[in-house]
């Protein structure tokens, strides 16, 4: 699917599913894995040597959640509370019991603060704990490679993932418009000589220490800048500050950002989604989600706050793809993510529905209030082999990783 394709046509996840005979189902548990909210750019995203002009200033340090991002996350939390209450999993008002909700975030500032902001939306003015490791320490749930919970044989990884790399290797063919838009946003189309990233060869190779994989070429050169331009828009910056105004304004700007978003999402084909990397990236996270969904004594609602590559890895294990309105295929928007729902029919059979729920770019930019009548974008993601309602064992098996 090209970045210019419309958001996929899929059932709206706002509506509760029904059994094959039309009878209603009972919601028993929900496990959400979401990406942190709007943050200031990372130092590694700044496209040194390509960006023509000083980047806009941000109200927080690099990588930190912005106040705007926190406000958007609270709005999403409030919506999820409404949806959970409408489906009988949480009370409509008041504070949920301590045993009803579990929140765990990565130890980065942006994930902790996103969890706190979403908790305020889920349960305003309630003492809802937000768990995490000490700030700045490594959590193998979200950062297994850095924490030593998983390792990569880089040469074996490159060989194993090669059959899945066609989209990355062919980006300079089918994503020429998106690459050209990113080049225009950077302003290096006007330099002498102009940067011609389309002609760069894609190289996927073992890292020098053989502990990881390196990606070079058009996707690697444009993914970071594409993400910055999208973050500038989400933060509510004026159009002349989004990509220095080089991508226009209004609908034209929104369309350009949707196209370049695919470049950001495509890098996860290399680093997270493929059959070699996904079980390693999710070595601790996937079993944690399976336990939260099916284990005895687990709370009805579990919220995990991590990063885009965490979502990409779990989506890869499940074999699902998504395209949120206003974004490119498989690019996880800030503040949104996967929602695994455990339903039970009248005969006692447990069924799982997988959904993706995320605010559109304009909902985040404008801090649009969300409700069941004005929801965020959502879609039910059919799992290969079983569709939109799957036996719980099927999903648990997919989350059983053995790297």
pLDDT value of residue 159: 95
CA 371 to chain centre: 21
pLDDT value of residue 10: 63
Q: What DSSP state is assigned to residue 66?
A: P
Q: Which residues, 6 or more positions from 225, have their beta carbon under 8 angstroms from its beta carbon? A: 45, 46, 47, 50, 51, 182, 185, 186
pLDDT value of residue 1: 30
Residue length of the chain: 403
pLDDT value of residue 47: 78
pLDDT value of residue 8: 43
Give burial (CB, 10 Å; 0-12/13-18/19+) of 60: middle
pLDDT value of residue 403: 60
Q: Which residues, 6 or more positions from 30, have their beta carbon under 8 angstroms from its beta carbon? A: 84, 89, 300, 301, 302, 339, 340, 341, 342
339 forms beta bridges with 32, 355
pLDDT value of residue 208: 87
Residue 340 CA: distances (Å) to CA of 44, 264, 396: 32, 24, 11
3-state secondary structure of 82: helix
pLDDT mean for each 10 residues of the chain (403 residues)? 40 90 95 98 87 94 98 98 97 94 98 98 96 96 95 94 94 94 94 87 91 92 96 98 96 97 97 96 97 96 98 97 97 98 96 98 98 97 94 94 66
- Average model confidence (pLDDT) across the chain: 94
Top-level class of domain 26-150+275-398: alpha beta
pLDDT value of residue 4: 34
Angle among Cα 36, 275, 379 to the nearest 5 degrees reads: 45
**CATH node for 154-269:** 3.40.50.1240
pLDDT value of residue 211: 82
Domain boundaries of the chain, sorted by first residue: 26-150+275-398, 154-269
Tell me if domain 26-150+275-398 and domain 154-269 are identical in fold.
Answer: yes
Q: What DSSP state is assigned to residue 164?
A: G
Is residue 278 a contact partner of residue 313, using CB atoms and an 8 Å limit?
yes
pLDDT value of residue 210: 82
Q: What DSSP state is assigned to residue 126?
A: S
Q: Which residues, 6 or more positions from 373, have their beta carbon under 8 angstroms from its beta carbon? A: none
Q: pTM value?
A: 0.95
pLDDT value of residue 3: 34
């Amino acid at each position: 699917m090209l970045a210019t394709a419309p958001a996929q046509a899929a059932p709206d996840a706002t509506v509760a599913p029904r059994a094959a005979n039309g009878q209603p189902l009972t919601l028993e548990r929900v496990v959400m894995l979401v990406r942190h909210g709007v943050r200031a750019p990372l130092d590694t995203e700044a496209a040194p040597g390509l960006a023509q002009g000083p980047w806009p200033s941000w109200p927080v340090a690099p990588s930190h959640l912005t106040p705007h991002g926190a406000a958007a996350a609270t709005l999403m939390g409030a919506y999820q509370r409404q949806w959970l209450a409408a489906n009988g999993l949480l009370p409509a008002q008041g504070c949920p019991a301590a045993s009803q909700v579990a929140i765990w975030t990565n130890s980065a500032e942006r994930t902790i603060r996103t969890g706190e902001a979403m908790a305020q939306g889920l349960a305003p003015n309630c003492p809802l704990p937000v768990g995490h490791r000490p700030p700045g320490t490594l959590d193998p749930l979200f950062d297994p490679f850095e924490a030593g919970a998983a390792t990569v044989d880089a040469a074996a990884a490159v060989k194993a993932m090669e059959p899945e790399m066609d989209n990355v290797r062919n980006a300079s063919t089918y994503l020429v418009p998106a690459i050209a838009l990113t080049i225009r946003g950077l302003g290096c189309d006007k330099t002498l000589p102009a940067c011609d990233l389309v002609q760069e060869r894609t190289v996927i190779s073992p890292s020098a220490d053989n502990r990881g994989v390196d990606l070079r070429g058009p996707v690697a050169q444009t993914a970071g800048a594409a993400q910055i331009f999208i973050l500038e828009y989400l933060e509510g910056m004026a159009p002349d500050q989004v990509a220095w105004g080089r991508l226009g304004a209004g609908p034209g700007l929104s369309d350009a950002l949707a196209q370049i978003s695919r470049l950001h999402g495509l890098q996860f084909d290399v680093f997270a989604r493929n059959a070699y990397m996904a079980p390693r990236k999710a070595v601790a996270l996937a079993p944690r989600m399976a336990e939260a969904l099916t284990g005895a004594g687990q709370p009805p609602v579990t919220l995990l706050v991590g990063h885009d590559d965490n979502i990409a890895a779990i989506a890869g294990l499940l074999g699902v793809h998504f395209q949120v309105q206003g974004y490119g295929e498989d690019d996880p928007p800030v503040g949104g993510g996967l929602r695994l729902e455990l339903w039970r029919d009248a005969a006692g059979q447990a069924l799982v529905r997988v959904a993706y729920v995320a605010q559109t770019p304009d909902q985040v930019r404008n801090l649009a209030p969300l409700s069941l009548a004005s929801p965020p974008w959502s879609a039910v993601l059919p799992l290969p082999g079983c569709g939109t309602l799957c036996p719980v064992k099927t999903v648990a098996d997919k989350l059983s990783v053995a790297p």
